[in-house]
A = this chain, B = another copy of it.
Amino acid sequence: MTASPITFWFDFASGYAFFAAREIEALGARVGRPVLWRPFLLGTAFRVTGGRGLSSTPLKQDYARRDWQRLARRAGIVLAPHANHPAITLPAARAFYWIDARDPDLARRFARDVFDSIFTAGLDGTSAEAIADQAAALGIDRAALLAGLADPALKEQVKRISEEAVAGGVFGSPFFVVDGEPFWGADRMGMMEEWIRSGGW
């Protein structure tokens, strides 16, 4: 019997998801749970909550920028996003699901690489060409992926996944669900680990 997974919901443009993505596989390994990576479009949630991105909210934007920098310093990372960051990283999310349909393990590696590149190497997450380059570096067929990204069925799939996530109560990034229990935010990964270990309380 396979242990039920930790579902890891995220938007590739989310700074806190970037930090969470660096830790979640190790957490899953410690508690014996696989991690199901699930990019979605945070904008879909914002339309329901009335929220907006941290980077476009007065006061919170200054706090978040400072907070990301201190999290990065602690992790020994130098943040170097593209000038257009944060922007809607639709091609990254679509590419993830195109790869995931063919090789889930490869999709996970792709997701980790994309996060690293968006936040530390100036990858333009809005560019299908740049995303295809990133995939090609993992041996993925660049032309086939680009053709896939233009497929209306893939676009519809990502839209549907995002809507289903929000309908299921997912409203932030990162957002985790394990055994039906939701945990919002990279800050709550410790609590989630405690929850899994103890069987809940």
Please measure, in the bound complex, the distance between the C-alpha atom of A70 and the C-alpha atom of B179, giving whole angstroms. Answer: 15
Q: Give the distance to chain B from A195, nearest Cβ to Cβ, in Å.
A: 8
Q: Which of A32-40, A47-55, A79-87, A121-129 binds B?
A: A47-55
Q: What interface size band does chain A fall in?
A: 20 to 34
How many of these chains are in the complex?
Answer: 2
Closest chain B residue to A56 by CB distance? B50
Indicate whether A171 reaches chain B with its CB closer than 8 angstroms.
Answer: yes
| Partner among B51, B59, B166 whose Cβ is within 8 Å of the Cβ of A45 | B59
- Interface CB pairs A-B, < 8 A, 26: A45-B59, A48-B58, A48-B59, A49-B57, A49-B58, A49-B59, A49-B60, A50-B52, A50-B57, A50-B58, A51-B51, A59-B166, A59-B169, A59-B170, A59-B171, A60-B171, A62-B169, A63-B171, A63-B184, A66-B182, A67-B184, A70-B201, A73-B201, A74-B201, A185-B187, A187-B187
